[in-house]
Chain A
Amino acid sequence: MAFLKRSPWILHYDASSCNGCDIEVLACLTPLYDVERFGIINTGNPKHADILMITGGINEQNREVVRNIYEQMPEPKVVVAIGVCAATGGIFRECYNIVGGVDKVIPVDVYVPGCAARPEMIIDGVVTALSILEEKRAKMSGAAQMKDDARHAEQAGEST
């Protein structure tokens, strides 16, 4: 029963990106890339989402927002950081208001490099995220484990 893999619903949040990656995430939904082929829907509602896609680095004001959105999402869930800004802050890394990559606030499962990340790379990123999502689900339905445990274990299992 791996329905999760076939129906990943996405939530996109623009942390502090330049819009480049954002519009590429949206472009994924459009006819030329059409991620609905994989059952992906952009929900826009954290409570319905399975995959959180974050573009851009974390700054002072959106820190809480990002954490809040992450916590609202029901388990199992994965976080995909899109673009180099979401990974490390990229070219904005040295700005006074940038704290760094998304992993400074919430655990990140997949990093998609690029500036701006292309729709094809984003699709690849989601596909990578799906296998992690599946692992998390298996963990969840297994023995009652602490959420944190699952998070650590999944990182160990990611080295493939």
Chain B
Amino acid sequence: MNWLIGAVLFLVLAPIAGGLIAGIDRRITARMQGRVGPPLLQPFYDVGKLFEKESVVVTTAQNFYVLAYLIFIALSGALFFAGGDLLLIIFAFTLAHVFLVLGAYAVHSPYSHIGAERELIQVMAYEPMIILAAVGLYMVSGSFYVTDIVTTTIPAVLYLPGVFLGFATILTIKLRKSPFDISTSHHAHQEIVKGITTEFSGSTLAQVEIAHWYENVFLLGFVYLFFAWNPAIGIIAVVVTYLAEVFVDNVTARVRWQAALKSGWFAAVIGIANLAILSYMMLGGA
């Protein structure tokens, strides 16, 4: 029952790994800014604190939506690490974000609503690319199942450089990093306050935070798929990709949502071009 072990391990370990990654991220960011930065375990303190706080419930629907968001994010991650179908995983993943947007819409705050709108724009921006990434991996490995993609011996990234580049671009959106941290951001100040999470507080916000951890681990897992033929290279690639994201976060200003949308689709265009060339080569070769 390998798949069950993978799923359970993910559900248990991902929050720990995600929190640690967030902690490392914050420390590196601080160093890049010439500061000392918070303790490594700071994200855990934050979430722990949020559970200690009084929960100001604006509407009960909000709690339901946020919980659903957490569950679906965890589910998509679990499916992924269980070696499930990529398309199903992406569907669950998208559904999770729909719940988050609904949660933000459930409260009456203009900032929250604008944040929700921008989150939807983000979904539109990254969705094509994420599907293309799945298609690309399918073309290389011949399967949509993560189990098959991981066990393939073909160096996927060599066939899919454009897809990987596009995926790295939308990764910036997904990790909520500058320049695309338009709907909410982990640090810094924003014109829409905290955007989509403005009205969440206490344990609700903590759930959003944990969902982010799951999400980040899942996304890094996705990055690994491109390098899956060699685990060592894969892990290095994941680390380097993440560090590059942190670096980009620190050397750019936030752009407007129009640019985020354009960048997402531009990434998709690169991806499509890559796939077109690939299929031409494969057809030619066949």
**Which A residues lie within 8 Å of B45 (CB)?**
3, 6-7, 39
The A-B contact count (CB < 8 A) is 78
Q: List 23 A-B contacts (CB under 8 A).
A: A1-B48, A1-B52, A3-B48, A4-B49, A4-B53, A6-B45, A9-B46, A34-B36, A36-B30, A36-B37, A39-B45, A42-B189, A43-B194, A44-B189, A44-B194, A45-B194, A45-B198, A47-B198, A47-B199, A48-B205, A50-B53, A74-B201, A140-B54
| Alpha-carbon gap, A9 to B46, bound state (A) | 9
The reply on A76 being an interface residue by CB < 8 A is yes
User: Which of chain B's residues has its CB closest to A72's CB?
Assistant: B56
| Alpha-carbon gap, A4 to B34, bound state (A) | 26
**Which B residues lie within 8 Å of A9 (CB)?**
46
Which residue, B35, B49, B51, B193, has most C-beta atoms of chain A within 10 A? Answer: B49
> Would you list the 5 A-B pairs with minimal beta carbon distance, nearest first?
A3-B48, A6-B45, A3-B49, A31-B34, A75-B54
The reply on B265 being an interface residue by CB < 8 A is no
Contact B30 A74 (CB under 8 A): no
Shortest beta-carbon distance from A146 to chain B in Å: 14
User: Which of chain A's residues has its CB closest to B186's CB?
Assistant: A41
Contact A50 B30 (CB under 8 A): no
Q: Which residue from A1, A44, A137 sits with its C-beta under 8 Å from B193? A: A44
**Which A residues lie within 8 Å of B35 (CB)?**
30-31, 34, 36-37
Shortest beta-carbon distance from B236 to chain A in Å: 29
User: Which of chain A's residues has its CB closest to B47's CB?
Assistant: A3
User: Which of chain A's residues has its CB closest to B55's CB?
Assistant: A74
Extra 13 A-B pairs, beta carbons < 8 Å, given A36-B36, A42-B189: A6-B39, A31-B34, A31-B35, A36-B35, A36-B37, A37-B35, A39-B42, A39-B45, A44-B189, A44-B194, A74-B54, A74-B201, A75-B54
| Alpha-carbon gap, A152 to B198, bound state (A) | 30
Contact B189 A3 (CB under 8 A): no
Contact A7 B37 (CB under 8 A): no
| Alpha-carbon gap, A30 to B36, bound state (A) | 10
Contact B53 A7 (CB under 8 A): no
Q: Mark A1-37, 1 if CB is under 8 A from B, else 0.
A: 1011011010000000000000000000011001011
Instruction: Tell whether A76 pairs with B53 under 8 Å between CB atoms, given A7-B42, A39-B46, A45-B198.
Output: yes
Which residue, B36, B37, B38, has most C-beta atoms of chain A within 10 A? Answer: B38
Contact B194 A48 (CB under 8 A): yes
**Which B residues lie within 8 Å of A50 (CB)?**
49, 53
Contact A6 B49 (CB under 8 A): yes
**Which B residues lie within 8 Å of A137 (CB)?**
52
The reply on B221 being an interface residue by CB < 8 A is no
| Alpha-carbon gap, A92 to B62, bound state (A) | 44
**Which B residues lie within 8 Å of A44 (CB)?**
189, 193-194
Contact A37 B36 (CB under 8 A): yes
Q: Mark B50-66, 1 if CB is under 8 A from A, else 0.
A: 01111110000000000
The reply on B81 being an interface residue by CB < 8 A is no
| Alpha-carbon gap, A47 to B104, bound state (A) | 14
Q: Which residue from B30, B39, B52, B202 sits with its C-beta under 8 Å from A34? A: B30
Contact B49 A7 (CB under 8 A): yes
Shortest beta-carbon distance from A67 to chain B in Å: 16
Q: Which residue from B46, B48, B201 sits with its C-beta under 8 Å from A47? A: B201
